[in-house]
Structure 1
Amino acid sequence: MLELDTDAALAELVRHRRELHRIPELDFCLPETIAYIERVLEPLSCTVIHPCDGCVCALFDTGSARTVAIRADMDALPIAEATGVPFASAHEGRMHACGHDAHMAMVLTLAGWLDRVVRERPGALPRNVLLVFQPAEETTGGAARVCASGVFERNQVERIFGFHVWPDLPWGSLASRPGPLLARASEVHISIHGQSTHIAKTFGLTVEETHDAALAAARFLVTERWLVRKLGQDEPIVAHFGLLQAGTVCNAVAGEAALAGSVRVFSDAMFERVKEELARTLDEACSSCGCTYDIDIAEGYPPVTNDDALFERAATVLPELQRIDEPLLIAEDFAFYQRQIPGVFFLLGVGAPQDERAACGDLGHATTALHTDTFMFDERVLLEGLSVYRRLVALP
């Protein structure tokens, strides 16, 4: 296998990451990002494919009948950047605050290395390599559209790998686990319909006769807390409602109430139980107050579940891989790929040790949390991710 000039690779990783950091774009609307990726790929020994809107793929053909895919997400977040770095976002109100610029930089640098392997060492890799640059990870699950495009079937893809930079893990560490790694995430939207009337007219009425949407919402939330604790005895679950709006004035019964929340679970079976129990709990709360309701529980992202056999095979070439004891209640649309082909998702630690949260490479920034306006990290860690990818594409 070709060796890697680490100094040159690091310079390339940093260049890609910073250029992409300057041009954050959202959802499926990624013209500048796609143009940048296409410029990098154009001179390389690969076939560039556009399987669906907002997606760019690069196929490196090694002559094999089998293919391994590597995924990078491209979209950013609607966050105004406050890092103050020289390469800060040039797009007001948008920022790569989740590390997708880092994910793309690793895969683009991998592309340059693959180009050399294909040209200088034909037959050195056991599979073709399909690099997938996907849109809309942060919003509507762009991975699902990539899967529906048929690009994996057309190119005989039999496995897929992906990364996420992770501030909660020590810098340079690699972690994952077989089976469930990240949770299913589904949004819940509820509308409760009552009847608005002056509070003076409620004197002497039963609760059911008040048609109080605010009271129905309150009863639902209290019971829902108890329900989550009960279901959580069987497996980890989070169901929380962060939005509650009801009524218009202080001296009238609320005629309408709206609630919005999110559910996180690790299995389809628990998801079905949660949907059933939430609907039952809501029905009881509304009936007790003489109200009606509408409830919408989105299918959302499935849980990220690593293929057991592929995980163990990958572990044979990744001696540094640490195993996480418990799955995390974070969501990622990489899960859609794993429902179509075996896949393993890894977390790349970018967090500084607690006693060293000062300088971050040449940036003078400590690592901060994902989805914050100051998210930054020591870019030298990207060499670790590149090393992992090189070993994974060479995995028999």
Structure 2
Amino acid sequence: MKVIDSIATQAAGIAALRREIHAHPELCFEEVRTADLVAAKLTEWGIPVHRGMGTTGVVGIVHGRDGGASGRGVGLRADMDALPMQEFNTFEHASQHAGKMHACGHDGHTAMLLAAAQHFAKHRDFDGTVYLIFQPAEEGGGGAREMMKDGLFEQFPMEAVFGMHNWPGLPTGTFAVSPGPVMASTSEFKITIRGKGSHAAMPHMGIDPVPVACQMVQAFQNIISRNKKPVDAGVISVTMIHTGEATNVVPDSCELQGTVRTFTIEVLDMIERRMKQVAEHTCAAHEAVCEFEFMRNYPPTVNTPAEAEFARQVMIDIVGEEHVVKQEPTMGGEDFAFMLQAKPGAYCFIANGDGTHREMGHGGGPCTLHNPSYDFNDDLIPLGATYWVRLAETWLQRASA
């Protein structure tokens, strides 16, 4: 494993920053304290900073030995926000704010990019510019989209953009990257079935929305099994059904909510169209009324082939080919997808291990993402930062050839 010596030497200090961020989690678009810390460190290291993009975003600008005169640039992105959930860990750096927790490792992502920034500040062995993108509001707020709306790619022209997420379960020292879809689109739906209330002993006097809802839920699964190609991935999950107030009353209405996940926009288009048809026609068949809402949140995260292969070669040079594995696509969502719709790039995974790195006082649950017993593995900081540095240096060397 070829970790950069200067990064390894400074890793303990960066780990302390990571734990400081972990202890003070902030939700989407509220990352004021975190952004202040990031901007202060970048400024301390002599890196110019642009603030306020996407509300609380921070962009560090690292010009190479040419002062950025070549006009070439590459973007490296880390997310900063936490989740609205209670932490079960009780170790020293556990969350100090009830109902808020860094349960997805964004504190570690921020730390790895800060470690790379600290190295870049003293070693500008490239021509062009590296843009360090510290993004807010990945967890549902669409911070990547908001930074882009504020002119991220216009103000900071870059040829490609790269992202990285820790991945529990894979052995430490491992990377994963692949071309094509690696994370799913995320959409939400809300369907309100309006019937006619009545006494439960006299259902013929009303229009019962409950059996309508039951038929609808079952029919949605036929969309997955019969309307899309078997080789195409898609998920429809009805996760909430709200209706009724008393056991002897047929309710007036029933509300269904849930999520849809796909790896392509074409499958997403088909699912939305068919769900709407099924919902409306099922209601009509029972003389009920349907209100159908479908909200698209994040598109699929799709790595461009050339950039995924480029990232893979950088990883191989650092950890060896046997430690760079195929990236298994996941139905989780990621708003880095918006950046990959606008720019070539790749989103990779860095292994977080099996959880044995956690200190005494961790919760009893597994060390998995969005789990109250999760903690980022600080041993990844030198490796992740080395990847960022070598990726940017190699990209800009190749671009200037």
* TM-score (normalizing by structure 2): 0.90
Matched, 1:87 2:89: no
SS at match of 1:140: coil
Residue identity opposite 1:177 in structure 2: S
Corresponding residue for 2:335? 333
In 1, distance between residues paired with 2:327 and 2:152?
34
In 1, distance between residues paired with 2:9 and 2:168?
25
SS at match of 1:161: strand
Query: What are the superposed Cα offsets for residues 319-352 of structure 1, whole Å, 9 maximum, x if unpaired?
Result: 1463426421111001010011111001111122
SS at match of 2:384: helix
Matched, 1:382 2:378: no
Residue identity opposite 1:89 in structure 2: S
Query: What are the superposed Cα offsets for residues 9-31 of structure 1, whole Å, 9 maximum, x if unpaired?
Result: 32133112111111100010112
Aligned-residue CA RMSD in angstroms?
A: 1.9
Corresponding residue for 1:306? 303
Corresponding residue for 1:70? 76
Matched, 1:281 2:287: no
Which sections of structure 2, spanning at least 5 residues, go unmatched? none
In 1, distance between residues paired with 2:129 and 2:34?
25
Query: What are the superposed Cα offsets for residues 105-143 of structure 1, whole Å, 9 maximum, x if unpaired?
Result: 00111111110013xxxxx21430111111110022111
In 2, distance between residues paired with 1:182 and 1:332?
7
Would you say the 8 A contact 2:303–2:346 is kept in 1?
Answer: yes
In 1, distance between residues paired with 2:299 and 2:114?
27
Please give the residue correspondences for 1:240-389 in structure 2 after superposition, counting only pairs within 5 Å.
Answer: 240-319=237-316, 320=320, 322-324=324-326, 326-352=328-354, 359-360=356-357, 368-389=367-388
Counterpart of 1:229 (choices 211, 220, 225) is 225
SS at match of 2:314: coil
Q: 1:276 to 1:342 in 2, by over 3 A?
A: same
Would you say the 8 A contact 2:88–2:373 is kept in 1?
Answer: yes
Residue identity opposite 2:186 in structure 1: A
**Percent of matched pairs sharing the same residue:** 30
SS at match of 2:349: strand
In 2, distance between residues paired with 1:158 and 1:325?
23
In 2, distance between residues paired with 1:102 and 1:225?
38
In 1, distance between residues paired with 2:158 and 2:138?
21
Residue identity opposite 1:306 in structure 2: N
Corresponding residue for 1:128? 129
> How far is the alpha carbon of 1:93 from its aligned partner?
1.6
In 1, distance between residues paired with 2:274 and 2:328?
25
> How far is the alpha carbon of 1:202 from its aligned partner?
3.0
Would you say the 8 A contact 1:350–1:367 is kept in 2?
Answer: no
> How far is the alpha carbon of 1:8 from its aligned partner?
2.1
Would you say the 8 A contact 1:367–1:377 is kept in 2?
Answer: no
Residue identity opposite 2:348 in structure 1: F
Would you say the 8 A contact 1:351–1:377 is kept in 2?
Answer: no
Residue identity opposite 1:279 in structure 2: K
Corresponding residue for 1:111? 117
Out of 243-252 and 172-181, give the one that drifted further: 243-252
In 1, distance between residues paired with 2:328 and 2:312?
18
Q: 1:232 to 1:15 in 2, by over 3 A?
A: farther
Out of 86-95 and 225-234, give the one that drifted further: 225-234
Would you say the 8 A contact 1:360–1:367 is kept in 2?
Answer: no
Corresponding residue for 2:11? 10
Query: What are the superposed Cα offsets for residues 127-174 of structure 1, whole Å, 9 maximum, x if unpaired?
Result: 301111111100221110111111212221111111111113222210
Counterpart of 1:214 (choices 210, 217, 238) is 210
In 2, distance between residues paired with 1:201 and 1:167?
54
Residue identity opposite 1:9 in structure 2: Q
> How far is the alpha carbon of 1:313 from its aligned partner?
2.1
Would you say the 8 A contact 2:224–2:234 is kept in 1?
Answer: yes
SS at match of 1:42: helix
In 2, distance between residues paired with 1:361 and 1:240?
33
* TM-score (normalizing by structure 1): 0.91
Query: What are the superposed Cα offsets for residues 253-283 of structure 1, whole Å, 9 maximum, x if unpaired?
Result: 2211111100000111001000011011111
In 1, distance between residues paired with 2:165 and 2:178?
14
Which sections of structure 1, spanning at least 5 residues, go unmatched? 119-123
In 2, distance between residues paired with 1:79 and 1:291?
38
Corresponding residue for 1:121? none
Aligned residues: 380
SS at match of 1:91: coil
> How far is the alpha carbon of 1:361 from its aligned partner?
6.3
SS at match of 2:266: helix
In 1, distance between residues paired with 2:247 and 2:44?
67
Q: 1:367 to 1:391 in 2, by over 3 A?
A: farther
Corresponding residue for 1:100? 106
Query: What are the superposed Cα offsets for residues 274-333 of structure 1, whole Å, 9 maximum, x if unpaired?
Result: 001101111122112211111111111010100111112222222146342642111100
Out of 169-178 and 103-112, give the one that drifted further: 169-178
In 2, distance between residues paired with 1:48 and 1:168?
35
